[in-house]
A = this chain, B = another copy of it.
Amino acid sequence: MKAPGKRRPAVTLKDLAAELGIHVSTVSRVLHSDTEVARGAASKETAQKVRDLAKSRGYSPDPQATSLRTRRTRAIGVIVPRLSDIVLATMYEGVEEAAAESNHSTFVMNSHDSLDEQRRKAEIMLARRVDGLILGDVHAGSSLVDDLTARHVPFVLMNRRYPGFPSSTCDDTAGGRLVADHLWSVGHRSVAILAGEPYASTGVDRTAGFVERWHELGGEVPADRILPSRFDTEGGRQAGEELLSLRGEVPTAVFAVNDFAAIGAMGAFRAAGLVVGQDIAVVGFNDTSLAAQLPIPLTSVRSPMVEIGRAAVGMLRRVMNGEEVASVRHPPELFVRESSASAGAAPRGAAVVLAGSSGTGGLQAP
């Protein structure tokens, strides 16, 4: 536990130049010519000597100095609602990977889904002079995207979309439709939706996709059976309890727009004496690592979280490059498991149609 001594200052271009008896600009030129021959930068021999020395001395350019000169930091700011949400954390893993591959660093901050914090964190990132921003927490109607645009800050959206701005998201509408197809085919006719926060396109689109498809199939979803809910387990439990307290029959199936809310709802149902997967079907969204491992494995729509993060970086790079980019909606996949494999009121073993699902790793209805 002793205090550290002074850190040895890093090797500089000047050090290398001095040791070779050449000018610092020559060293710089060589180190920037990626071709082995160093066309135009220096003679083949000089170039080789420079490269060898840089390697043996463990030279790494000072990024602050480089940034000061080039006016680019090769840093990306990422803002998410909260990293302790496994969905965002996983997307961030994709961001980190892709950013590292293109030699960019990333700052991440939590906004806790507060408009104030979003703005504050964005300002902190900008004060750090990041080259661009990835926003994973955009709210419907937020003015932040317009402000950033007016200031010509390069940014892309991730996780949630916002019409008119480039985003990398799951095709949440398609995901909602998959769930509708599944529940309908298993025999459910009375359903409810724990719809998430109204400001998040994820919940809104998943709900809309479900309702749209449900109607196509001939079903209906009463307005009071679409309940807003927070995205965490506690929020799911509350919404689940609220649902049970409504007058009228308890629905036979519930679609929660994310896994955590689904887990919370399962807890509420169980507390009320209902057996999930038997008395009431529950479907989640995202297929987080937990879903398949729960005591009662949870049917869920898998969204390609890592890929969504990776794509966001690719898009941002193009935006930073001045290109126009289109939004991408990554296709989801349904994984049917015990929590919804049969319909309480419907005959067990009803045909299960996994619309659009590969079913890999999923569990068919028994």
A residues near B (Cβ < 8 Å) are 1-10, 60, 62-65, 67-68, 71, 73, 82-86, 89-90, 92-93, 96, 100, 105-110, 124, 127-129, 149, 151-154, 164-166, 232-234, 236-237, 260, 263-264, 266-267, 270, 276, 289-290, 292-297, 319, 322-327
Contact = CB atoms under 8 A, between A and B. Distances in A.
A324 B68 contact: no
A326 B2 CA distance: 10
Contacts of A3: 319, 322-324
Contact of A295 (B64, B165, B294): B294
A73 to B, nearest CB: 7
Nearest to A106: B107
18 contacts: A1-B325, A3-B322, A4-B152, A6-B152, A60-B127, A62-B68, A63-B128, A83-B83, A84-B90, A86-B89, A108-B108, A234-B293, A263-B290, A263-B293, A264-B293, A266-B295, A295-B295, A295-B296
A326 to B, nearest CB: 7
Contacts of A71: 9
Given A86-B84, A152-B7, A267 B297 contact: yes
B93 A165 contact: no
Nearest to A72: B64
A100 B124 contact: yes
Which 9 residue pairs spanning A and B have beta carbons closest together?
Answer: A233-B293, A64-B67, A84-B89, A83-B89, A7-B152, A60-B127, A4-B152, A64-B64, A84-B90
Given A7-B152, A90-B84, A105-B107, A276 B295 contact: yes
Contact of A93 (B1, B82, B289): B82
Contact of A267 (B9, B124, B153, B295): B295
A236 B152 contact: no
B2 A324 contact: yes
